[in-house]
Structure 1
Amino acid sequence: MAILVVGSVAFDSIETPHGKVDHVLGGAATHFSLAASFFTDVRVIGVVGEDFTPADEAVMTRRGVNTLGIEHAAGLSFHWTGEYSGSLNEAKTLGTDLNVFATFEPKIPSAYQDSEYLFLANIDPVLQARVRKQMPGVKMVCGDTMNYWIADHGANLAVVLRELDVLLINDGEARMLSGEQNPVKAAHAVMAMGPKALVVKHGEYGATAFFSDRAFAGVESVTVPFRAPALPMSEVVDPTGAGDSFAGGFYGYIASQPKLTPTVFRTAMFYGGVMGSFAVEKFGTERLQALTREEIEERFRLFREMSHLEASVA
């Protein structure tokens, strides 16, 4: 089962209390692709500039990610500069240079047309909608967005939300999109806009899944929210890309299974947390590049143990 992801392939310059790096490989589609590649086939659509080298592309192709859909354009790649000071839960953006990403028009190669799963990473909802329209036969569609699109592009975002099976956003985005402060009311208000399920990411506190009464096959009987924990980390080096890595682990696991069931959905939430926890251990994509499936399964075991309450003995 193949996932088609459309989003940014970029470079990041990041400063955290643990150091500073310049021009490291990043972008939503990059983090998502690397994380998902441990579970299933991944195909990526994005655009890069002349500063994107064969070595950069090899970061993805070594993991088996199909990069046929990455367009190489004249100019420089999308470059984000940010810093984390004090709390690592939110980055301060110092600079956003869209460069070739400013005129990005996603092109779907014919070899990608049989993709069963589609992930619309955090980009302009106009582009998300165009890609979705060109992939009418996919089994499942998941998507992401952010405060900028919610605040200033609400009408375009509304079109995308109606096409989603699952939306993955964080707490603040859920409140902003819904206008509700209560998390349960916010979740149901968001799902009323179209998504059949909502996964709300809480950063270091895990994630919660909410389900509507229009849930898709396999989870239509689930009405109770499900909370997956986050692994307490002794050291967080760089939170950039953690949410995209969560999405990659979550959706990659779903795509790897023959059938979507409530158990598969819940297990996917745990694998999302696993991949997010690895992503923050190094700058950029460094940790995901060196990761092994054995490490993933060992950490998954820790997640399960941490959340399992044994029956007490009298």
Structure 2
Amino acid sequence: MSVLVVGSVALDSVETPLGSVNGVLGGSAVYFATAASLYTKVNLVAVAGTDFPIEHIQFLSGRGVDTEGLEVIEGKTFRWAGRYDFERNITETLETELNVFADFHPTLPPGYRDSDLVFLANIDPELQCEVLEQVSGASLKVVDTMNFWIRGKGEPLSRAISAVDIAIMDESEARMLAQSENTFVAARSILNMGPKTVIIKRGQYGAVMLSGDDHFIAPAYPV
């Protein structure tokens, strides 16, 4: 099985009740590729600036992630700053610097277009739509998103969600997108946009998956 992830590699600054970190390795494509590499080979497409530490690329390569599709260009890497509120189970975006990501248009290397599974990680929905046009033969297409894009790119996000099999987001994002205060009502509304399945991330409380008339609730795994 060939797996393609198109998303962000980033330098993150994160605040939690347990402590804070600045400029650490982050990005939706990084987290997905790291986890998926436990089971299969992953092809990664993303962009980084010249300030992106080489050891981060070596970390990915060391896990068997194919980084041929990782472009390193002049400029600063995408940066995100956020705060996690465990009490209210929400994530607050404090700052987003697109930097080199602002002009990024994914180019899939030869062989990537035939991937069986395509995960469109948390990036500009317009870029997600660009990739979907290049991987029409994939057997499973998944899209992830966040509040930043819901607020600023609603129309292309709707197009991306309608063209995939699975849509993923957290509780607050689902409620924002569907304009509903009830998580399950919001998830059903998103299902009506076109995907076969919706997965709602609930932080320390696990996740909820809805598909058709069925739903499945999974607890978080303690680590």
TM-score by shorter chain over 0.5 = yes
Structure 2 residue 210 is the aligned partner of structure 1 residue 228 = no
- Aligned-partner Cα distance in 1 for 2:115–2:86: 42
Residue of structure 2 in register with 1:176 after alignment? 176
Mapping for residues 1-314 of structure 1, pairs under 5 Å: 1-84=1-84, 87=87, 89-212=89-212, 223-231=213-221, 233=222, 278=223
Deviation of 1:170 after TM superposition, in Å, equals 1.2
In our comparison, the structure showing a higher alpha carbon Rg is: 1
Decide which structure has greater helix share.
1
User: Deviations 1:171-213 (Å, cap 9, x if unpaired)?
Assistant: 112222222333332222111101111111111111111112x
Structure 1 ranges of 4+ moved more than 6 A:
none
- Aligned-partner Cα distance in 2 for 1:183–1:96: 26
What amino acid is the match of 1:162? Answer: S
- Aligned-partner Cα distance in 1 for 2:201–2:50: 34
- Aligned-partner Cα distance in 1 for 2:202–2:96: 25
Decide which structure has greater strand share.
2
- Aligned-partner Cα distance in 2 for 1:183–1:117: 27
- Aligned-partner Cα distance in 2 for 1:88–1:47: 33
- Aligned-partner Cα distance in 2 for 1:153–1:42: 28
User: Deviations 1:234-276 (Å, cap 9, x if unpaired)?
Assistant: xxxxxxxxxxxxxxxxxxxxxxxxxxxxxxxxxxxxxxxxxxx
Deviation of 1:229 after TM superposition, in Å, equals 1.0
Gaps of 5+ in 2: none
Distance 1:83 1:183, change over 3 A: closer
Q: Sequence identity of aligned pairs in percent?
A: 44
Number of equivalenced pairs? 223
What amino acid is the match of 1:32? Answer: F
Larger deviation, residues 87-96 vs 181-190: 87-96
Q: Secondary structure at the match of 1:64?
A: coil
Distance 1:95 1:187, change over 3 A: closer
- Normalising by structure 1, we get a TM-score of 0.67
Q: Secondary structure at the match of 2:101?
A: helix
- Aligned-partner Cα distance in 1 for 2:148–2:93: 13
Distance 1:157 1:226, change over 3 A: same
What amino acid is the match of 2:128? Answer: Q
Gaps of 5+ in 1: 213-222, 234-277, 279-314
- Aligned-partner Cα distance in 2 for 1:88–1:46: 32
Q: Secondary structure at the match of 2:24?
A: strand
What RMSD, in angstroms, separates the aligned Cα atoms of the two structures? 1.8
